[in-house]
Amino acid sequence: MSVIRFASWGRVSTEDRQDPESSRAWQRARAISLIEPHGGQIVAEFFDIDKSRSIPPQRRPEASKLLTALADPARGFDAVVVGEPQRAFYGNQFGNTFPLFAHYRVPLWVPEVGGPIDPDNEAHDLIMSVFGGVSKGERNRIRVRVRTAMATQAQIEGRYLGGRPPYGYRLIEAGPHPNPAKAADGKRLHALAIDEAAAAMVRRIFAEFLSGAGLYAIAEHLTRDGIPCPSAHDPGRNKHRCGVAWSKYAIRAILTNPRYTGRQVWNRQRKDEVLIDVHDVALGHMTKMRWNEADKWIYSDEPAHPPIIDDDTFAKAQELLTARRGSPPEHKPHRSRHDYILRGLLYCGVCGRRMQGHWANAAPYYRCRFPAEYALANRVDHPLNVTLRQDAVLGPLDNWLAGKFEPRHLPATIDELAAAATIPERAQPAAEDNTEASIADCDHRLAEYRAALDAGADPASVAKWITETEAERARLRALARPATPRPSMTRQEIESTANALADLLAVIRDADPHDKAEIYTRLGLKLTYQPADLTVRTEVDMMSAAQHWLFERVRGGT
């Protein structure tokens, strides 16, 4: 009996819900039990981790790699086996994917039909369609159960359900997890406790607002007084923010957050799945966060954490916000969808923030309006508007990319990339010599405070001391944490990636705008505009390019 070479295909959604290794093992075992009696042997594996089944196979890294390999006569396998169809196909994904297997004459084996799927067998097609529907129904049932459980936990138990704590609060442990399995894994419940320094600023914001100050004026006052904004106060949880100054949007977010009254609030936002392209539904959906109406928010029945302001103060602030807002302007829908090819890739060289798309004079622009959104009391030297027209960048950018990767320049480009990958990291500033001693001092003080609490000291005073000391200890621990070393790519990996990109970038000038934007994103492109000298600094992330185009899990760097 001749050996049939198989590639196994599987998927697991998230590491939190199921261990990827055990999931991989049982899916592989089920596939082996199907193909071994027929002389089958698994020689390749395509297994996606942390990818939802709702994402079409064409957009999952490993599944996409498999579908691309079908067209390669030297792919190294004769057939594909799926251990669990519900893991591979969701909804109508089988109907959109199986024609590729039939076209390239690569058999697809599944346990449910006892062997390869026959493209001319209506029963096989019906079975796979049913499993796609079962997969979709299973996911929807899980989502309903999870959301219902979370709503109950928030309303009845007042449980903290994750996410960044609001400015003014910090996280503390609240005992073992009530789920025995999670408790056995060491998981703990968490609750919100007052961060006194930030809580004082929250009270100040409400007081200034109720006394007549506007959002921008409050941001100016806080920045002028040297008060760190939320992202600067807790940079570890706000790495996506610049942290330079207070913004009026941060003030509004604080004024409209009902959790400052001590109630747990859940379901303020929701995740909606919207089509990526209404003209090509096979691309599937993307997830967008959207705000729910206030009447859909879930409040805890009882106070769940210490309040920073009282209910009456919060209610007055909402009334004043509503009065100042007036009637909302009439929304004018966009007549057409504008092509912002550099969306998310272009940064302002003055403040480091992403520039936003802006349509003007019948053309796409990008702008940064830092002074209109953040307080200026910190004397940031930033123009009122930093603006860049898209077509002023695309031509030079495409020429630069194509030139760097054309055949005669490619060896030099590979040399440059290899040299950049071997540049040693700059030495990280050493932590202060007394950091560990300071942490030990915090531990000693915490032990004394708890002993004082056991001896009958005033709980309110001791709790405040513990809060302040734990905050100081967390800050010191963050300073003492060693920096993560940057991984690097080998020259062979760089050369392989660069050669694969050469043909693609040679035709980038004539690519469709949507395709061009996708190419830029998958290249890991980052553009930084310096308005002072009208230049754009261009960077390419070779690790991103390797993962997206070669579909190799490399150690990679930039």
- pLDDT tens digit sequence for 271-292: 887 877 777 776 777 778 888 8
- Per-residue model confidence (pLDDT) at position 442: 76
**Mean pLDDT of the 343-360 span:** 86
pLDDT at residue 241, as a whole number: 67
pLDDT of residue 318: 92
- Cβ burial 105-126 (10 Å sphere, 16+ → b, else e): ebbbbbbebebbbeeeeeebbe
Query: What is the number of residues in the chain?
Result: 558
pLDDT band for position 503 (cuts 50, 70, 90): low
- Please state the pTM of the whole predicted model: 0.57
pLDDT in tens, 401-454: 877 777 777 788 777 777 766 544 444 444 445 677 777 777 777 777 767 666
Query: Under a CB-based contact definition with an 8 Å cutoff, are residues 540 and 421 in contact?
Result: no
In the predicted structure, residue 122 carries a pLDDT above the cut 90: no
| 92-96, 149-153, 323-327: range with lowest mean pLDDT | 323-327
What is the mean predicted confidence (pLDDT) over 191-197?
91
Average pLDDT over residues 380-405: 82
Please name which of 294, 287, 47, 19 lies closest in space to residue 143, comparing C-alpha atoms. 287
> Taking all residues of the chain, what is their mean pLDDT, rounded to a whole number?
79
3: its two tokens: 């050996």
Over range 366-384, report the average pLDDT: 74
pLDDT of residue 522: 72
- How much is the pLDDT for 198? 92
Query: Mean pLDDT lowest for which of 16-25, 471-480, 505-514?
Result: 471-480
- Report pLDDT for 349: 86
* Position with higher pLDDT, 557 vs 230: 230
Q: Which residues of 130-145 are buried (b: 16+ CB within 10 A; e: fewer)?
A: ebbeebbeebeeeeee
Q: Quick check: 8 pLDDT over 90?
A: yes
Of residues 524 and 364, the one with the higher pLDDT is 364
Calculate Rg over the CA atoms of the chain.
28
Q: pLDDT per residue over 204-261, tens digit each?
A: 999 999 999 999 899 989 988 888 888 888 887 777 666 678 888 899 999 999 999 9
Kindly provide the residue ranges of all beta strands, DSSP E only, lying in 277-385, ordered along the sequence.
285-291, 298-299, 346-348, 356-360, 363-368
Burial of 243 (0-12, 13-18, 19+ CB in 10 A): middle
Angle between helices 93-103 and 122-152 (to 10 degrees): 140
**What pLDDT score does 556 carry?**
31
β-partners of residue 274 are 286
pLDDT at 50 over 50: yes
Q: What is the pLDDT of residue 42?
A: 94
C-alpha distances in Å from residue 26, one per residue of 8, 14, 19, 38: 12, 16, 11, 20
Closest to 288 measured CA to CA, from 276, 275, 272, 277: 272
Inform me whether the pLDDT recorded for 194 exceeds 50. yes
> Which residues are within 8 A (CB) of 101 and not within 5 positions of it... i.e. 6 or more apart?
70, 80, 107, 108, 117
Residue 558 clears pLDDT 50, i.e. is over it:
no
- Please check the confidence at residue 545 and state whether its pLDDT lies above 60: no
- 266: which 2 tokens? 């859940």
Report percent pLDDT > 90 for the chain. Answer: 24
Element (H, E) at 41: strand 40-49
pLDDT bucket at 363, cuts 50 / 70 / 90:
confident
380 and 244 in contact (C-beta within 8 Å)?
A: yes
Closest CA relative to residue 94, chosen from 56, 141, 66: 56
Interaxial angle between packed helices 248-255 and 196-210, expressed in degrees from 0 to 180 and rounded to the nearest 10? 90
Given a cut of 60, whether residue 547 has pLDDT beyond it is no
How many Å apart are CA 228 and CA 226, to the nearest integer? 6
At 557 the pLDDT is: 30
- pLDDT for residue 407: 77
Instruction: Say how far apart CA 323 and CA 313 lie, in whole Å.
Output: 15
